[in-house]
Structure 1
Amino acid sequence: MPLPPIDQLLRRWRRRPALPALGLAGALLLGLWPASPGTPDGRHLERILAREFLQVHTRNTPTTYYEGREGPTGFEYELVRRFSASLGVSLALRADHHIASVLEAVRREGDLGAAALPLTPGLDGVIFSRPILELQPVLVYRRGLPPVTGLDRLQGLRLGTLAGAGTDRVLRELKAEHPSLAWEESDDLEAAELLRWVEDGRLDAAVLFEHQFRLNRLFFPGVERGFALGEPLSLAWAFPAEGGLALAQAANRFLAALHDEGELEALVARYFGHDDYLEYVGARTFIQHLHARLPDYTELFREAARQTGFDWKLLAARGYQESHWDPEATSPTGVRGLMMLTLPTAGDLGVSDRLDPAQSIEGGARYLRELKDRLPESITGEDRLFMAMAAYNVGLGHLYDARRITEQRGGDPDRWADVRESLPLLQEREWHSQTRHGYARGGEPVIYVRNIRRYHEILSYVDRSQEQFYLLNARLPEPEESHDAILSVAPGQ
């Protein structure tokens, strides 16, 4: 069954009233009752403004906060960053939490919990903001099992979910109507780990939220989407009840303005509307682009290769993986250009215009050379190249974290074959909580390097085929630089 497109998610979300008519109790719950910093109810906000920073408790996950290719990122990180700026204070993050510890930290320390928290009316010691995003629980199951299309198909299957995430609450509500429904839950796992457990057979099925599955499904091809489960929940921020209402009120004004300006919808689309941009698109499409697009940039790749010592076809393969040789490409996270440079990286490289193909290709090649040169001398040969490419995608810090995990698991941190087995573990709390740089979408660099190698093989095949064409056909002169031949012969054509 196909996943509903993000525009359906957005349409459902937009239908929610801006301020639900919950009466006085609901207004108190959501922090909407008037309060100002100078009143007793505003004392918490007063302290924040006086010390000039907002303390936010969150989780190191792809939907909340993590260290990405272009620096700190994540849907809720972006929201709290903007909120702290609206208050005129800096942002202090503590991201070593799971859901239960976020709420406890909010009660004890304040200021704000932003960690994919389900709005839970009546929760002791906590008040919530207005709803931010709709969370639709879905059931997923291991590929190869008979299709799981309803609760009646769960008989005999081992089912799991995350404790405190809200999906457990949905299951409890459903159990009232389906007494035989049984599941296991954990507050030590995150969504990626839950999906891995399904794929490797430790669970048969799991319940998580739609957006969590969308963000992770590329890395778990052995997991199928089953069906939507129960009614949607609402994601919200949590505040300490004893701190008064002014901070929650300020947050609600901020979120309402973000919604009215269309910025909230844009953030939802940016972080949850793209889940397939790294997928391999197939040889036929690649060959079509090879004929239509690559000739415009071949000489630029050759020149960058001469300056940096790489095979120009490897640089071209990277360019295709990054942008499909589209000089105006822009990723969901804001990296741009043919080689998809981040703004800080472009600045460091002296690239003034990321959309200029010549600057992008030259800068991307130099950056790959810098990464390769910075790796430990113990990494040699193709292993060094593959790890440099992985660092280009996920960041050098996360690559080093994966190398340390490889050592812990008894592997060789200088071999790409071992490190690529460890990179996806950066998506699992059990492992990334032990690292310096925390969560990363570690499956991405594995796919990234694999795809570039595939594209490079095709380019090399085409190039060799053209060389052989000139050598075997005496009627045509052999070019002066046959290894740099224009790629115009496609396999199977």
Structure 2
Amino acid sequence: MASDSKSYLQYICIFFILMLFVSCSGLPDEEEHEEIHGVEIEKKIEKSVHDTTNSYQMVIEHKKLVAVTNFNSLNYYIYRGETMGYQFEMLKAFADNMGVVLEIKVENDLAKSLEMLYEGKVDVIATGLIATTKRMRWFDFSDPLIITKQVLIQKLPKNWQQMRTLNEIESGLLRSTIELGKKEIHVKQGSAYQKRLTAISNDIGDTIYIIEDKREVEELIQAVASGEIKYTIADQYLAMANKQNYPELDFGMPVSFDQKIAWAFRKEGTNELRDEMNNWLRLFSRSAVSRNIYNKYFISTRMQRMMQRDYQTSTGGNISIYDHVIKDVAKEIGWDWRLLASLIYQESNFKADAENWSGAYGLMQLMPSVMLQFGIDSTTTPEMQIRVGGKYISYLDRLIPETVTDSIERAKFVLAAYNTGVGHVLDARRLAEKYNKNPNIWTDNVDFFSKNKSKPTFYNDPAAYYGYARGEETYDFIVDIFDRYENYKNLVNK
């Protein structure tokens, strides 16, 4: 009974808090409710009142920064096997500065991204989010990474290249917000663009026909270029990144004032993670590395051309020209083809004639002794290189004890053997068993002994039959392959 009374009193308290909140500051209007995206406001208030989570401490404790970004040809994608993107590179630099691992989650639905942050599933949103006043009520924002504005995307007049003067071209373009009246404009569903156009419609006293479209902003830009639609809205920085690809488009009409593109963090009393990011950004933004990243994605015409090529995941969905063979071989050896692709990129960057100082050759960087074992040489076709590489992986797999039953852990043992030789891997297993670690688990068990096999304490140990090995190289080899594999899984279908 006492418990029921207590619950009743708690219910009454929450009710009055909600009523006070409504009377003082108002529940979100319909537009703001869309920004918060469907999570009940009561749940959010309760969480903001009672949640004492310190995101910074959680990141440090878990040694991992979990970020959500969106998949497009600017923020996060794969080009010829390499993970790229402005937001990705900035997140990676920040995580490296903190000394933690970066884990990326991909979500192109802003609604779900905001929900993930509220629920603590991610530490930061890095999607090119505009720090609006309404959003700042619900989230802590970093200092701006980019200052931008919203611009109208429209097609240049027909035969614009034959026009003699700039005025002649300008006369065929919209250049005033008043001219937006009675126009049909497609915008990404759930974006801030719809709100901006609604405000303009009110300001000019005329109707703008706003079509909320499920497609991504870049797809809408492409739709304008193809003539499917007449107008869309995009952030200026994103529009300029696509300028080289669509010379027939005009991005010159702003429809907003300057706006801040920033990272969003959970609302916390003293937001140490946000403050850490701001302190880092102030220093990093003055560095040559920061300038190079910015120039790569917003200035370089070469990068803009790359964005439209077949082996860029946001346009073609492929990793390499060898995908069909990789998929076939991966099926034969029982691997996810994206893991095999990550190995090949690690070894050769998909260059069929790659050769290193040790004599390793080709896409899979097979040693001369292995090529001899399987009857191939430097004249072998790229397809055969991959097929023989698959056979070699199967051969190594048979040498790993059957007690390693987890498929992912087993793949790590095989990759270690691929890099350093199976003898050194078996040494590391024996050392793990001797020092009371699990010899059947690579991560946080056998990997420690493999990594330290360059130290006398371990390579002179009686359990190490094969002596010295450059263990850190093998450790990094596996970390790099699996980091890339996680990005491939985010961006490329199985």
* Structure 2 length-normalised TM: 0.48
Larger radius of gyration: 2
